[in-house]
Amino acid sequence: MENLSVKNNLEKIQKNIEKICLKKNLQKQKVTLVGISKQQAIEKIKEAYDVGLRHFGENKAQEFLQKYELLPKNIIWHFVGHLQKNKVKSIIDKVSFIHSLDSLPLALEIEKRASSIHKKIKCFIQINMGGETTKSGIDEKDLPKMVSEIKKLSHVDLIGLMCLPPYCENKEEVRPYFRNLKKLGKQFHLEHFSGGMSHDYEIAIEEGATFIRVGSHLFGKR
Percent of the chain with pLDDT over 90: 91
Pairwise CA distance, residues 148 & 106, whole Å: 15
Q: How many CA atoms lie within 13 A of 186 on its CB side?
A: 9
Q: Total structural domains in the chain?
A: 1
**pLDDT score, position 169:** 86
- At 166-204, the pLDDT tens digits run 888 898 999 999 999 999 999 999 999 999 999 999 999
CA atoms of 106 and 116, how far apart (whole Å): 16
Identify the pLDDT of residue 72.
97
Q: Is residue 44 part of a domain?
A: yes
**Taking 90 as the threshold, does the pLDDT of residue 56 lie above it?**
yes
What is the predicted pLDDT for the residue at 198? 94
pLDDT top residue among 118 and 1: 118
The pLDDT of residue 193 is 98
On whether the CB atoms of residues 191 and 210 are closer than 8 A, the answer is yes
- Centroid of chain to Cα 133: 20
Range of the domain at 211: 6-219
- Judge whether 74 lies within some domain: yes
Which pairing describes strands 156-163 and 55-58: parallel, antiparallel, or unpaired? Answer: unpaired
Whole-structure pTM value: 0.95
Within a domain: 1? no
Contact 37, 212 (CB under 8 A): no
- Determine, yes or no, domain membership for 41: yes
Count the neighbouring beta carbons within 10 Å of the beta carbon of residue 216: 16
Give the list of residues 6+ apart from residue 15 with CB closer than 8 angstroms, or none.
none
Does the structure show a pLDDT above 80 at 132? no
In a domain, 128, yes or no: yes
Percent of the chain with pLDDT over 70: 99
Q: Is the pLDDT of residue 107 over 60?
A: yes
Q: What is the DSSP letter of 28?
A: G
| Average pLDDT over every residue of 154-173 | 93
Residue 2: pLDDT over 60: no
pLDDT class of 1 with cuts at 50, 70, 90: very low
Instruction: List the CATH number of the domain containing 187.
Output: 3.20.20.10
Strand bridging mode 211-214 / 156-163: unpaired
Residues β-bridged to residue 160:
124, 192
Whether residue 158 is contained in a domain is answered as: yes
